[in-house]
Structure 1
């Protein structure tokens, strides 16, 4: 674990210079990296024959795969002014039915499969779909499918304000994780990196399902203030390229007081996975830190 001012990174495998350093014990919110975990659980259930990713969901005209790829046409709740005001005022989270109704009142953005638009409300529904199919909570699925097999001890689903008491950033004291409607996992940087590294090392999904997860929807080129030179989205994964390191696959995340970047770099001489966490609201800071950590000898 290394720290530079308020930036925390963990790399797998560690550079030789870090081999004797003690693993950091700070806990962070994983924010939208939780989407990657939701997608892993869905693909694992499909691998086991418990769910069909491409069947139209009951009562809807889109599939679970389209929710996971942001191609369902659903809007987002982040665009709702009342949502932003309520979070800023430190109110209690709305019931899920209320946020769904408010988001859907904006109207569908496009027909399923005919476009791409990032949708947190889509992942809220995706989580409910896999919970219903498994007859288990998302938290239990994460423990059974990921944390148990990998021996991870720090990862927990935050549900109440009290669950954010252990978070490193002081801003957590002013936030209710219930405002993240698909769920907000928390844990160490090391465990976030381990989840993604294990995924790409074939420890969580078989080869066929991992290949499915990596199928990407291209979105464009460079993003100002961020390291991306090519962007796309796969199944629960941001997927593109950064000039210095080649392909970059993982997920960034942001909340009111911190950001993170958890990425796998498959084109380096040895595949490397990095989890980077920092305070503030600029995802580019965490992403650049992840790229720099991946390049260290």
Structure 2
């Protein structure tokens, strides 16, 4: 628990974990910061050769661009499991877009890779630098940084991390402690204007219950998962990779922010662990 008692944290001490898709709220927050400074317009169509016309950065960040996700590619998972080097960026894009998804809403890691690239171009800085100077530094998150090479994953708690190249996460992944993950989520509202944070947490409802997960109503905002766990309203993000999963959520009613990291590639157990704490049970 932090010093003023607001955040319930996983009991992990200084152990480091991969944040996986909990990196997405950071990417969205950085986009909103740059927009506030006049460096980006989230509602302007992007001029990218990979995308059809009319797609905006906001649509990439809330997954409404209709792009496919490389997580559905069998060859992707086979090469990750075999310990091969990540595919070149253009090969990944070509193989992913060959799936021809144009759903109205579809969770897409490819979309977040393109969003990350757009942010880096607008800022003329790498995501690692932006995280350090605009997120981790101001919030005092000493453990949080971007994983850029296998050596970064060699420091993580799970032994399997030593055989994984973080380049396989094309939008990139942060690493850090469980405590800093909770502090990061809690601190986003301090880094953004009230209007910008409201845009992040504006929930587009997508459906009801999810199997083996606590969601009874689920949706997505601008870089944040949101909805209900029974009678508990939450927002945050879950994430998973080949060997671990996490869930980092805030409950506005109880004021609690909780992070959990679990062994295994499914978010359900981490979410269930968080659900018991965030509601005050």
Q: Who is 1:267 aligned against?
A: 253
Q: Structure 1 residue 167 and structure 2 residue 160: aligned? A: no
Poorly superposed stretches of 4+, deviation over 3 Å? none
Alignment partner of 1:279 out of 257, 263, 281: 263
TM, length-normalised to structure 2: 0.93
Q: Who is 1:134 aligned against?
A: 123
CA distance in structure 2 between the aligned counterparts of 1:126 and 1:190, rounded to whole angstroms: 27
**What secondary structure sits across from 1:183 in the alignment?**
coil
The correspondence of residues 191-206 of structure 1 with structure 2, limited to 5 A, is 191-199=180-188, 202-206=189-193
Q: Who is 2:233 aligned against?
A: 247
After superposition, give the CA deviation of every residue in 1:154-179 in whole Å (9 maximum; x if it has no partner): 01111111110110011101211110
**What secondary structure sits across from 1:228 in the alignment?**
coil
Q: Structure 1 residue 179 and structure 2 residue 136: aligned? A: no
Q: Who is 1:235 aligned against?
A: 222
TM, length-normalised to structure 1: 0.88
After superposition, give the CA deviation of every residue in 1:103-125 in whole Å (9 maximum; x if it has no partner): 01111424xxxx10000000000
Please, which runs of 5 or more residues in structure 1 have no aligned partner? 2-10
CA distance in structure 2 between the aligned counterparts of 1:176 and 1:12, rounded to whole angstroms: 37
Report the CA distance between 1:23 and its aligned residue. Answer: 7.1
Report the CA distance between 1:72 and its aligned residue. Answer: 0.6
**What secondary structure sits across from 1:72 in the alignment?**
coil
Q: Who is 2:30 aligned against?
A: 41
CA distance in structure 2 between the aligned counterparts of 1:231 and 1:286, rounded to whole angstroms: 16
The correspondence of residues 101-140 of structure 1 with structure 2, limited to 5 A, is 101-110=94-103, 115-140=104-129
* Structure 1 residues 22 and 181: CA distance shift in structure 2, 3 A: closer
After superposition, give the CA deviation of every residue in 1:31-57 in whole Å (9 maximum; x if it has no partner): 000011101111111112110000000
Please, which runs of 5 or more residues in structure 2 have no aligned partner? none
Q: Structure 1 residue 226 and structure 2 residue 213: aligned? A: yes
CA distance in structure 2 between the aligned counterparts of 1:253 and 1:22, rounded to whole angstroms: 19
CA RMSD after TM alignment: 1.9
